[in-house]
């Protein structure tokens, strides 16, 4: 079975470099897709309170992990023997209307109930919501959860350099991750450099540009040359740049295809060609406009 290599976060916790994204997965479909992804070899799942599917994710995981010590309740037995809670990496995120210290702690409790977990592997502030001006305080709540051992790592999402600078004026724990929109059409060079300087791992959301980048002629040509699919070329590019990536897919075939990116390599000429595709194209919102 194919699995993803793991990268080390700045606190030593390991994260599977390629995970499965669950935005826009209807709650009723989440359990089945999580199980299909587990069967394909995924061990890292990215959800959020806003996605409304944490309980579906829990159902998918609990079908696998049934023992009480696994910290997931309600399971019916191991579908894939040998996978334990420790092998699985679950990320969830605090939504925008729960900024503030107390609200953040309550939001986390709600996510834990939904997920049926004893601990979450990574908890992120979903958006900085700069006009609210509360993210430093919200992050303090994440630091509390981290110190209490309820999360193995904490981080942020959609933070711009200016938000990271502000956060680090008061933060005691450097975020492990900044999850940002990142794909060949939006390469976020300044932010990636900043992450490197600060020891923050870059995690790519919409790593396929929500599917839009698959049609790019340079990607298509590269895929033909390697006898791979456009999705595999883009995901391989992320892997070679050291990003974590969390593609979403709705069929078993695509779920398998997206994980099958560890058996070929893009040349330095391929990497240079893909580096030339940046056009600052966002498929989602700009972080300054989300509040
Ligand atoms: N922190 C944040 O603010 C955000 C986080 N995210 C996270 O990132 C994850 C991924 O981002 P997402 O926006 O879903 O976009 P992706 O870049 O992962 O693209 C998903 C789209 O690509 C299609 N697709 C997937 N694999 C293939 C393939 N092999 N061949 C052809 N088409 C394919 C999917 O189709 P189909 O589903 O029909 O198979 C879907 O339409 C989310 O699920 C979420 O977990 C996303 C947005 C914002
Ligand atoms: O998927 C997420 O995690 C999001 O926050 C986004 O999709 C977000 O809602 C967005 O990009 C809207 O344009």
Q: Could you tell me the pTM of the whole model? A: 0.96
Residue with CA nearest ligand 1 atom 48: 205
Per-residue confidence (pLDDT) for residue 82, from 0 to 100: 77
Q: Which of 42, 51, 123, 146 is catalytic?
A: 51
Using DSSP's 3-state secondary structure scheme, residue 187 falls into coil
Among all bound ligands, the one having the nearest atom to the CA of 283 is 2
pLDDT digits (tens, 9 = 90+) for 204-241: 999 999 999 999 999 999 999 999 999 999 999 999 99
How far apart are alpha carbons 275 and 45 in whole angstroms? Answer: 28
| CB-ligand 1 contact for 141 (6 Å cutoff) | no
Task: Determine contact, residues 88/120, Cβ cutoff 8 Å.
Answer: no
pLDDT digits (tens, 9 = 90+) for 134-187: 999 999 999 999 999 999 999 999 999 999 999 999 999 999 999 999 999 999
| Closest-lying ligand 1 atom to the alpha carbon of residue 211 | 22
226, 213, 228: which is closest to 274 by C-alpha?
Answer: 213
| Region 121-142 average pLDDT | 98
Q: 54, 125, 284: which to mutate for ligand 2, most atoms within 8 A of CB?
A: 284
Task: Determine contact, residues 108/124, Cβ cutoff 8 Å.
Answer: no
Residue with CA nearest ligand 2 atom 10: 284
CA of 99 to the centre of ligand 1 (A): 26
| CB-ligand 2 contact for 48 (6 Å cutoff) | yes
Per-residue confidence (pLDDT) for residue 2, from 0 to 100: 79
Domains along the chain?
A: 6-289 (3.20.20.100)
108, 96, 94: which is closest to 144 by C-alpha?
Answer: 108
Respond yes or no: is residue 51 known to be catalytic: yes
ipTM: 0.98
DSSP string, 230-266: HHHHHHHHHHHHT-EE----SSHHHHHHHH--SS---
Strands of the chain, DSSP E: 6-8, 14-16, 20-21, 44-46, 89-94, 120-125, 151-157, 177-181, 201-205, 244-245
Dihedral (CA of 37, 145, 24, 290) sign: negative
Per-residue confidence (pLDDT) for residue 73, from 0 to 100: 43
| CB-ligand 2 contact for 285 (6 Å cutoff) | yes
């Amino acid at each position: 079975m194919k699995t993803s290599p793991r990268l080390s976060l700045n606190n030593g916790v390991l994260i599977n470099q390629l995970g499965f994204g669950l935005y826009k997965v209807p709650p009723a479909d989440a359990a089945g897709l999580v199980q299909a992804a587990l069967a394909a070899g995924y061990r890292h799942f990215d959800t959020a309170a806003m996605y409304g599917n944490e309980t579906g994710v829990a159902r998918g995981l609990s079908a696998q992990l049934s023992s009480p010590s696994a910290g997931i309740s309600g399971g019916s037995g191991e579908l894939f023997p040998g996978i334990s809670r420790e092998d699985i990496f679950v990320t969830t995120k605090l939504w925008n209307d729960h900024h503030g210290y107390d609200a953040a702690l309550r939001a986390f409790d709600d996510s834990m109930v939904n997920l049926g977990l004893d601990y979450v592997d990574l908890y992120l502030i979903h958006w900085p919501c700069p006009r609210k001006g509360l993210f430093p305080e919200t992050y303090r709540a994440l630091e509390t959860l981290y110190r209490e051992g309820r999360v193995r790592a904490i981080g942020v999402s959609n933070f711009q350099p200016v938000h990271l600078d502000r956060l680090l004026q008061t933060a005691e724990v450097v975020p492990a991750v900044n999850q940002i929109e990142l794909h060949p059409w939006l390469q976020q060079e300044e932010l990636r450099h900043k992450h490197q300087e600060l020891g923050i791992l870059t995690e790519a959301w919409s790593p396929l540009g929500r599917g839009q980048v698959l049609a790019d002629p340079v990607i298509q040509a590269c895929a033909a040359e390697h006898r791979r699919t456009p999705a595999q070329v883009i995901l391989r590019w992320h892997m070679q740049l050291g990003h974590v990536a969390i593609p979403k897919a709705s069929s078993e075939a695509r779920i398998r295809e997206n994980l099958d990116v560890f058996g070929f390599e893009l040349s330095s000429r391929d990497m240079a060609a893909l580096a030339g595709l940046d056009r600052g194209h966002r498929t989602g919102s700009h972080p300054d406009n989300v509040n």
